[in-house]
Amino acid sequence: MRSCVLLLSGWFLSTHSLADNVFKSDYSEQFLDQVAQLREQALSNQLAYELTESLTTEVGARLAGSPGDAKAVAWAEAKFKSLGFDQISLEPVTFEKWTRGEESAEIMAPYPHQLAITALGRTHPTPETGLTGELVHFATLAELEAADPEMVKGKITFISNRMERHKDGSGYGKAVGARGTAAQVTAAKGGIAAIIRSIGTDNNRTPHTGAAKYDKKIPSVPAGAISNPDADLLVNMLSRQQAVSLKLTLTSHFDGQYTSQNVIGDMLGTDQKDQYIVIGCHLDSWDLGTGAIDDASGCGLTMAAAKLIRDHLGPLKKTIRVVLWANEEYGLSGATAYHEAHKHEMNRHILGGESDFGAGRIYGLGTRVGEHALPVIQQISSMLEPLGIEYQNNTSSSGADLIPMRKAGMAVFSLKQDGTKYFDYHHTANDTLDKIDRDELAQNLAAWIVVTAMAANTEQDFGFSLTD
């Protein structure tokens, strides 16, 4: 838990005197009434859903570097235009492209079965004809880390740790370490491949992909996630105390450099148009589903919020910048590239928020802002209350694509969604449009409108927090 927010930035102090940090509400009654009205209208507005439907239907899967990536960029540019954004920019994002290949896993003995498996992002390929080895089972990543290399040498490791279901998704952080490092830890101990129980809360034969840690200098091995029912089966089979052998074929591989784009749409402000409220989503997705909850819905929400604000409230003081980030999933490449390109003007990035946790009903607002900005946050929070949203704390972190800017000090907010079901579908073939409830999405839209409009229409800043 982080409990204090530091005000430390050179650039912040150079442009703002401490006196500015005394909060004076500059919202007119008329503006607040208009926001409240638009909030209610949004609850029956379909634009976020229509955009989400359009991206998932007309583009679908859009793994960074794949043909879907280029289609998504074209889709985003065309949508920003048709929605009437004032300014549209494409900014190049270059990364090493990773390509999924064939993937299969077959128990050879004692009881042959085909397992549902998917390669973990950025892991090494097996030979094209596969590799075969005996399984060695660890209940957790920690057990693998503690294991004698002699146990692992020449074998395929299997971590069966089960992710917990929580509304706030907190089971993910506890479980995802296995996905990140099983391949490297296995390699370090002389193992030949690694499989893990999927990092997910479902019981479907739809394995969860996701990025493994990758560093050219650190040895690694082919690695995949098997579906949760298949993990149960393996555990039951292993309990019979007979050697279990597996044939694994995972021919995914790196495939040269690729340049995608961050696609940026601005709704320009009036007297503070060079100050940005940065909202957005990531435009790429994993390749197994159509990336509906991860993260087409985030794109639909933030694009629709900016559009409806402009249509109903007119241009506001600051610019609303919607960034559709490139290659979040296996590189945070768009986030890194944007920060690199804009680091000289971080002080113009006033507040940021990313929607990247599905489309469940929002129950909380979190922030990481300067303490002097908490009164305006309180005012925003009051406007969210009719949506069933309560203020949480000032130690929130928002979406992954904001990490580089947050680390550089940008204030952020987080509209916390009910993630009870999110990890049933996250990174699987099951991430499709039907997982989105129109009413819940519309409640999200209303919340994004409230926070974005109010942040963009105050002359206040939101301070600066140097953390991490």
Residue 437 — φ and ψ, nearest 5°? -95, 125
Q: Does 118 bind its own copies (CB under 8 A)?
A: no
Q: Does 430 bind its own copies (CB under 8 A)?
A: yes
Please report how close the Cβ of residue 365 comes to its own copies at its closest, in angstroms: 30
Contact region with its own copies (CB under 8 A), list: 57-65, 307-315, 326-334, 415-423: 57-65
Q: How far apart are CA 45 and CA 439, in angstroms?
A: 9
Q: Does 58 bind its own copies (CB under 8 A)?
A: yes
Q: What is the dihedral of CA 310, 356, 330, 55, to 10 degrees?
A: -60
Q: Does 142 bind its own copies (CB under 8 A)?
A: no
Comparison of 72 and 279: residue with beta carbon closer to its own copies:
72
Q: Does 116 bind its own copies (CB under 8 A)?
A: yes
Please report how close the Cβ of residue 60 comes to its own copies at its closest, in angstroms: 5
Please report how close the Cβ of residue 117 comes to its own copies at its closest, in angstroms: 12
Q: Does 82 bind its own copies (CB under 8 A)?
A: no
Give 353's strand partners: 279
Q: Does 435 bind its own copies (CB under 8 A)?
A: yes
CA distances from 8 to 42, 339, 417, 447, 448 (A): 38, 19, 31, 30, 29
Give 115's strand partners: 105
Give me 4's structure tokens. Answer: 């204090």
Give the closest residue to 370 by CA, choosing from 1, 9, 32.
9
Comparison of 165 and 213: residue with beta carbon closer to its own copies:
165
Give the DSSP H or E segment for 320: strand 318-325
Give me 347's structure tokens. Answer: 């002080």
Binding-site size for its own copies (CB under 8 A) equals: 33
Site for its own copies in 176-205 (CB under 8 A): 203-205
Q: Does 237 bind its own copies (CB under 8 A)?
A: yes
Placement of tokens 């987080």 in the chain = 414
Other beta carbons less than 10 A from residue 434's beta carbon: 9
**For the window 272-311, what string marks contact with its own copies as x by the rule CB under 8 A?**
-----------------xx---------------------
Comparison of 110 and 219: residue with beta carbon closer to its own copies:
110
Q: How far apart are CA 222 and CA 218, in angstroms?
A: 13
Q: Does 241 bind its own copies (CB under 8 A)?
A: no
Comparison of 125 and 229: residue with beta carbon closer to its own copies:
229
